A and B are shown apart, each in its own frame.
Chain A
Amino acid sequence: MSAAPAYDAAERAAREGYGKLVAFLAARCGDVDAAEDALADAFTTALERWPADGVPRNPEAWLLVAARRRFVDRVRRERSADRAHDRLTDAARDAQAAFERGEMIDDERLALIFACAHPAIARELRAPLILQTILGLDAARIASAFLTSPATMSQRLVRAKRKIAAAHIPLRIPPDENLAERLDGVLDALYAAFAAGWSDPIGDDPHTHGLAFEAIWLARLVAASCPDEPETLGLLALMLHADARRDARRDATGAYVPLDDQDPTRWDAAAIDEAEALLARAARGNRIGRFQLEAAIQSAYAVRRFGHDPDRSAIVAFYDALLARTNSPVVAINRAMALGRLHGPNAALAALDAAATDPRLATYQPYWAARADALARTGNPTAAHDAYTRALGLTVDPAIRRFLTARATREGGAPPPDNRRSTPERWRSG
């Protein structure tokens, strides 16, 4: 992504306008794919030209005018055989008429987000679908963040959009009685987008930080539309806390810096202030949830910027509540680490042993890194060394790999030269 502010502003305006138009047209013709297709060329042109020529006064109107030829072509090609295309043409005419009267079209992106995160859409496709329809990200970019091939991702997205049209998945904000439940699906998807491409969303490489920026953008959009939903505010607060530490996660040489060793002056104070304000607002809703708890944990760590020590027992209490709610092995590991800071490494090891009954942890890098850290603190360098080596063999991030290599070396002997997992005995004797 370009760092030039003018380019970023133009890109943002193009994506805002594109998303609004796709949502407006799709809500009226029921066919997301048709709406996207109608706007595709105009959007590409906008992304090319606006950074140089400047953003037009009404971005949506500009896009619609630029898309007109495509509309005409499409309608002619389809010979109006399909009612969806008639409705698409009608919707485009409605939008055009609104612009001519000097009005803005309604922002219906939230309705489209709810359709993309509908329970009838496969869970793992909800975030990719939102990123594509609302922000116009291409399948290749989404595929790389979700570790799949562009062809596969593209095919699955097409199929999901076809399902929205064929099964008439409604493009609307759900009624109050279903809203809370359906919002969970939306927030889950946004968090998945935030986490995509990070092996650990709370502490990974700032340069390959996946889709964090896009996810924060989307969370702001949802928070603005559902300002009274505490979990929405909690999710945005969590994202901002994590993002605030982006630069501090690397030292001058690009090496990974764990949270406890980070320099708080390198945290983004404005982002943390905003996160804290959001969390306070969420708390007034008196409905605690997963994202508020996660944000509260990040908030507890953030007091270091005022020179205070984090309240370790409060952090463990938040993790207890989170574990009771999610029963997630990842939460169990983080809780074990927090417990270790409060009661010592043996407490951490006991908690990790209890969590290890979940077979997925055998190939989960943070589990082995947590275990290694606790073992090192109990004064067991041999076992720590083995655990660091297992973590090393499972990491995908070069900076984390360097960090783990250094730790493994500190605990005893050089790690294997090719960084691949091998039996510890072999290279310890070698």
Chain B
Amino acid sequence: MQYLLLCYVDDEKRSYNLSGDEGRALYGSYVAYRQALQDAGVFVGSNALQAVSTATQVRVSDGKTTVLDGPYPDTKEQLGGYFLIEAPDLDSALAWAARCPAATEGTVEVRPIMPTPVSV
């Protein structure tokens, strides 16, 4: 059973400046977390995202494609990255989510991956 751990963190505070002590420490904690997932054999994949200010929205309606800058959401915490893990049940996934630095920094949303339907 796979779970996607979506990391919602404060974009403003998310430091892309890895030269600072705080930024380096934060980056280090994510590296260590990823390593722990790998060592436990539960790691499937992960990525960090650029700030939401770099995002662009695309929508197609009535055959017309609209491209927009944004979004500009009101909430402070934005999707900043994800970890895809393999876990036997929700309790196990929640235990891993709690260890994620994003759970301390912000919020981790745990979503079960939909199983691939049997082909018809």
B69 within 8 A of A: no
Interface string of A159-186 (1 = CB under 8 A from B): 0000000111110001000100000000
A169–B118 CB distance below 8 A = no
Chain A, interface residues (CB within 8 Å), range = 10 to 19
CB distance from B98 to the nearest CB of A (A): 12
CA–CA, A81 and B90, complex, Å: 24
A120 within 8 A of B: yes
Contact for B90 among A82, A170, A178, CB less than 8 A: A170
CA–CA, A178 and B112, complex, Å: 22
Q: 6 closest pairs, A vs B, by CB?
A: A170-B89, A168-B89, A167-B112, A167-B90, A169-B90, A81-B118
A168–B118 CB distance below 8 A = no
Interface string of A57-98 (1 = CB under 8 A from B): 000000000000000000000000110000000000000000
Interface string of B81-118 (1 = CB under 8 A from A): 00000001111001000000000000000101010011
Kindly count the residue-residue contacts between A and B in the assembled complex, taking CB atoms under 8 Å apart.
Answer: 26
Which B residues are within 8 Å of any A CB, using their own CB? 1, 88-91, 94, 110, 112, 114, 117-118, 120
Chain A contacts of B120 at CB under 8 A?
81
Question: Which chain A residue has the least Cβ–Cβ distance from B95?
Answer: A178
A120–B118 CB distance below 8 A = no
CA–CA, A124 and B13, complex, Å: 35
CA–CA, A120 and B120, complex, Å: 33
CB distance from A31 to the nearest CB of B (A): 13
Chain A contacts of B112 at CB under 8 A?
166-168
Chain B contacts of A167 at CB under 8 A?
90, 110, 112
CB distance from A170 to the nearest CB of B (A): 4
Chain B contacts of A170 at CB under 8 A?
88-91
B88–A168 CB distance below 8 A = yes
Question: Which chain A residue has the least Cβ–Cβ distance from B120?
Answer: A81
Among A118, A168, A169, A178, the one with the most B-chain Cβ atoms within 10 Å of its Cβ is A168
CA–CA, A81 and B118, complex, Å: 6
Chain B contacts of A178 at CB under 8 A?
91
CA–CA, A360 and B104, complex, Å: 32
CA–CA, A166 and B118, complex, Å: 16
Question: Which chain A residue has the least Cβ–Cβ distance from B112?
Answer: A167
Sample 21 A-B pairs with CB under 8 A, ordered by A number: A81-B117, A81-B118, A81-B120, A82-B118, A118-B90, A120-B94, A166-B112, A166-B114, A167-B110, A167-B112, A168-B1, A168-B88, A168-B89, A168-B90, A168-B112, A169-B90, A169-B91, A170-B88, A170-B90, A170-B91, A178-B91
CB distance from B115 to the nearest CB of A (A): 8
CA–CA, A227 and B38, complex, Å: 40
Chain A contacts of B1 at CB under 8 A?
168
CA–CA, A82 and B112, complex, Å: 17
CA–CA, A101 and B110, complex, Å: 43
CA–CA, A170 and B90, complex, Å: 7
